[in-house]
């Protein structure tokens, strides 16, 4: 962060870090550019902001006929309770996992670099959906110019590795180097607090909570031993799950793992005098309040909110609660405004 910035600029930067929707990010970037003090000390930062604005505008524009760029958009608009990106070296089975977990038709190939563009898909867990985004491999021989924009919208990532492949560790080291160059930092800590992103003094750093997925467990002799060896030799402390896209082994644990790690809270809303809608919860994060629920329902409701009645873990029998009341997973909430 450049020295001597204004509170206005700091607020815009904090909002940018929190923003997940690329369109909101673009608004925040414009606000950052508008509020940043214009002197020598902020020159590099202003150039960075302009580059980001240009990249994001291009990414959102999608295919351009007759232009230099063509193909699908490179930024996927977040959907569902969270967006999780699949990253990893070539041929580790990212697309095979994606297809099996989400029912997508992401192309699986027995040659590297089959996946060229982000492919979204939804993973169902109980009554919520998590968005999984399949991505091209991250490897030195295949630069992906838009990778930081694509990862900026994610809440976390699956680092998919193939422990049966002899070059696995070198590839994972390379992957980290490439990502760090693009200012993307993987962390074993879930979830990330956007206001204090691990003390990285870089507005454009992306800090991604990471789960290591040891895929192809079906062709590894003793997957638990291999995972321990990998952890010891690489010194990477990511939480790990073993899986096989081939046999389906371990796949059923992913939804629950992500739900807990992301600290997702499901809230069911009801209208006075009517039964609650128990089919489609709103999803928030641990620590969210009645006010946050109201914002999700409608911002006009949030503005005029007086109180709520709550049934469930954080209140019972329709007890009254104010806008600051912290909700809990499974609460039924009736908003009064």
Instruction: Find the shortest distance in angstroms from Cβ 63 to ligand GDP.
Output: 23
- Name the binder of 131 from Mg ion, ligand GDP, none, CB < 5-8 A by kind: none
Q: Does 92 bind Mg ion (CB under 5 A)?
A: no
Contact, 243 vs 251, CB < 8 A? Answer: yes
Which residue in 5, 25, 74, 95 binds Mg ion (CB under 5 A)?
A: 95
Instruction: Find the shortest distance in angstroms from Cβ 151 to ligand GDP.
Output: 16
| Residue placing its CB nearer to ligand GDP in the complex, 82 or 223 | 223
Structural tokens at position 218: 């079906």
Least Cα distance to 336 among 321, 314, 317, 315 occurs for 321
Residues 304-321, buried b or exposed e (16+ Cβ, 10 A)? ebeebbbbbebbeeeeeb
Instruction: Find the shortest distance in angstroms from Cβ 242 to ligand GDP.
Output: 10
| Residue placing its CB nearer to ligand GDP in the complex, 210 or 269 | 210
Q: Does 115 bind Mg ion (CB under 5 A)?
A: yes
- Backbone conformation region of residue 80, classed left if phi is above 0, alpha if psi is from -120 to 50, else beta: left
| Residue placing its CB nearer to Mg ion in the complex, 118 or 281 | 118
Helices 22-35 + 43-61 axis angle, to 10: 150
Least Cα distance to 210 among 181, 226, 229, 188 occurs for 188
Residue 40 CA to its chain's centroid (Å): 35
Instruction: Find the shortest distance in angstroms from Cβ 136 to ligand GDP.
Output: 8
Which residues contact ligand GDP (rule: CB under 6 A)?
A: 88, 90-96, 108-110, 114-115, 137, 215-216, 218-219, 244-246
Residue 160 backbone dihedrals phi, psi, to 5 degrees:
-90, 120
Instruction: Find the shortest distance in angstroms from Cβ 95 to ligand GDP.
Output: 3
Radius of gyration over every alpha carbon of the chain, rounded to an integer in angstroms: 22
Stretch that binds Mg ion, among 12-20, 89-97, 192-200, 225-233 (CB under 5 A): 89-97
Q: Does 42 bind Mg ion (CB under 5 A)?
A: no
């Amino acid at each position: 962060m450049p020295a001597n910035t204004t509170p206005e600029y700091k607020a815009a930067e904090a909002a940018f870090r929190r923003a997940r929707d690329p369109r909101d990010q673009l608004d925040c970037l414009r606000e950052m550019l508008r509020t940043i003090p214009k002197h020598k000390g902020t020159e590099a930062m202003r150039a960075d902001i302009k580059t980001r604005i240009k990249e994001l505008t291009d990414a959102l524009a999608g295919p351009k006929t007759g232009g230099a760029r063509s193909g699908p958009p490179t930024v996927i608009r977040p959907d569902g309770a969270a967006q999780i990106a699949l990253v990893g070296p070539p041929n580790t089975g990212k697309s095979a996992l994606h297809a099996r977990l989400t029912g997508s038709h992401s192309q699986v190939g027995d040659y590297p670099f089959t996946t060229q563009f982000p492919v979204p898909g939804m993973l169902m867990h109980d009554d919520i959906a998590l968005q999984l985004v399949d991505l091209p491999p991250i490897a030195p021989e295949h630069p992906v110019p838009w990778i930081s924009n694509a990862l900026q919208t994610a809440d976390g990532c699956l680092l998919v590795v193939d422990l049966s492949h002899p070059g696995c560790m070198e590839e994972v080291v390379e992957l980290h180097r490439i990502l760090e160059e693009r200012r993307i930092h993987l962390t074993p800590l879930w979830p990330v607090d956007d206001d204090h992103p691990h003390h990285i003094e870089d507005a454009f750093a992306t800090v991604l909570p990471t789960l290591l997925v040891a895929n192809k467990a079906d062709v590894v002799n003793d997957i638990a031993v291999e995972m321990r060896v990998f952890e010891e030799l690489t010194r990477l402390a990511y939480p790990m799950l073993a899986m096989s896209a081939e046999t389906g082994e371990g796949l059923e644990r992913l939804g629950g793992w992500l739900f807990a790690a992301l600290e997702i809270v499901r809230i069911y809303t009801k209208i006075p005098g009517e039964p609650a809608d128990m089919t489609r919860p709103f999803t928030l994060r641990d620590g969210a309040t009645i006010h946050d629920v109201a914002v999700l329902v409608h911002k006009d409701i949030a503005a005029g909110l007086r109180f709520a009645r709550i049934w469930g873990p954080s209140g019972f029998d329709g007890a009254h609660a104010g806008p600051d009341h912290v909700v809990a997973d499974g609460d039924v909430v009736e908003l009064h405004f």
